[in-house]
Amino acid sequence: MVVILKNNPNQKQLDNLIQWLKSLDIDIHISQGRNTTILGLIGDTSVVDIDLISALDIVEAVRRIQEPYKNANRKFHPEDTVIDVNGAKIGDGSFQIMAGPCSVESKEQICSVAESVKRSGAGLLRGGAFKPRTSPYAFQGMRAEGIELLLEAKALTGLPIVTEIMDLSQLPLFEEVDVIQVGARNMQNFELLKELGRTSKPILLKRGLANTLQELLMSAEYIMAGGNGQVILCERGIRTFETATRNTLDISAVPLLKTMTHLPIIVDPSHATGLSKLVKPMAMAAAAVGADGILIEVHNDPMHALCDGQQSLTPEAFDDLVQSISHILPYAYKEQTK
């Protein structure tokens, strides 16, 4: 961390600042220039509150040099984290496909989709039981019953299941769930993240609509700081001025995150674009840049998809998508991270 002082700082305040920093076990190097004095802070600066220092009268600006995340940082953990979900591995160099309907609607629907996506090559089944919807008047999901139906589909097909939690009060219902998903709107629901850090389940953490990659890693850090290192990051599009797509898929996030962290990274092309015709090319882009997998919406009947129908594929289109990806995977980008 670098602290740039204002011209002619009050010496007493400066002494106070230096003394306080030393009490936090921070070493300080002073660079005295013609117009500017710079303090170089050396040590574990993740404990230093950047806003607090910025607020001081004698300080012009503060610049962080080291990343504020530790457990998620590849610098301190150079080896890739591999997550094993009942045998389905994520982050080991393979490409895991998680597929299923936006919302669980009935036993027939979820079982039929599960069998179909398994046949096409999906390694995990996804489906929404609790649905975050912008409108209180829209379908809110089958909730507890939806999780039970997912478990029936799991029993039938053997596919591990991924489903979203919306509040920590729902956690007891997730005992048999294999991967707990944290949605984009909950990426900074810190109480939920803390609680998930105390579980031993893999967490699929989606990037918020307006969150930076560093913030995504800080949210992963919340989970990891609680003792749960099994975090799967998910890029699902960010909010920009462009209205032709629902969000803008930041595909460069994948190779960039690979340099920042050792955690696996998957891509959700369905929510990112909001247009089913873009799901296939964006899934192919995800494969090309070296993602560890994708999350795809598949439904078995468009007129009955109760929500987010626009971004869903039919089983046939999904099968075609998996084929298209399989050609690209052998030639996908691999970051030289070591």
* Interaction residues for its own copies, span 70-109 (CB under 8 A): none
Judged by CB under 8 A, the residue of 78, 108, 158, 212 near its own copies is: 212
Residue among 26 and 159 whose Cβ is closer to its own copies: 26
Residue among 36 and 86 whose Cβ is closer to its own copies: 36
Residue among 83 and 238 whose Cβ is closer to its own copies: 238
How many residues touch its own copies under the rule CB under 8 A: the total is 117
199 binds its own copies (CB under 8 A): no
Contact letters for its own copies, residues 16-55 (x by CB under 8 A):
x---x------x-x-xxxxxx-x-x-xx--xx-x-xx-xx
Would you call 40 helix, strand, or coil by DSSP? Answer: strand
Residue among 31 and 106 whose Cβ is closer to its own copies: 31
Residues 166-195 that bind its own copies (CB under 8 A): 166-170, 185-186, 188-194
Q: Where do we find the tokens 């009947």?
A: 301
Q: Which of 118, 115, 179 is nearest to 147 (CA)?
A: 179
Contact segment (CB under 8 A) with its own copies among 88-96, 154-162, 173-181, 310-318 equals 310-318
Q: Which of 109, 71, 57 is nearest to 197 (CA)?
A: 71
Query: With contact defined as beta carbons under 8 Å apart, do 313 and 282 qualify?
Result: no
Q: Work out how close the CB of 238 gets to its own copies at its nearest, in angstroms, rounded to a whole number.
A: 6
Q: How many CA atoms lie within 13 A of 117 on its CB side?
A: 33
Contact segment (CB under 8 A) with its own copies among 87-95, 131-139, 152-160, 198-206 equals 131-139
Q: Work out how close the CB of 158 gets to its own copies at its nearest, in angstroms, rounded to a whole number.
A: 30
* Token reading at 41: 């802070």
Backbone angles phi, psi at 212, to 5 degrees: -75, 165
b/e code 254-266 from CB counts within 10 Å (16+ = b): bebbbebbbbbbb
Q: What single-letter amino acid sits at 70?
A: K
Q: Could you give the CA distance from residue 57 to residue 143 in angstroms, rounded to a whole number?
A: 52
Backbone angles phi, psi at 119, to 5 degrees: -55, -40
Residue among 57 and 79 whose Cβ is closer to its own copies: 57
Residue among 178 and 297 whose Cβ is closer to its own copies: 297
Residues 215-244 that bind its own copies (CB under 8 A): 215, 218, 221-222, 225, 238-244
Would you call 297 helix, strand, or coil by DSSP? Answer: strand
CB atoms < 10 A from the CB of 39, how many? 21
Residue among 88 and 217 whose Cβ is closer to its own copies: 217
Contact letters for its own copies, residues 109-128 (x by CB under 8 A):
--------------------
Q: Could you give the CA distance from residue 98 to residue 297 in angstroms, rounded to a whole number?
A: 9
Give, for 20, the enclosing helix (H) or strand (E). helix 11-23
309 binds its own copies (CB under 8 A): yes
Residues 241-300 that bind its own copies (CB under 8 A): 241-245, 248-252, 254-256, 259, 272-278, 280-282, 284-285, 287-290
Residue among 13 and 112 whose Cβ is closer to its own copies: 13
Q: What single-letter amino acid sits at 277?
A: K
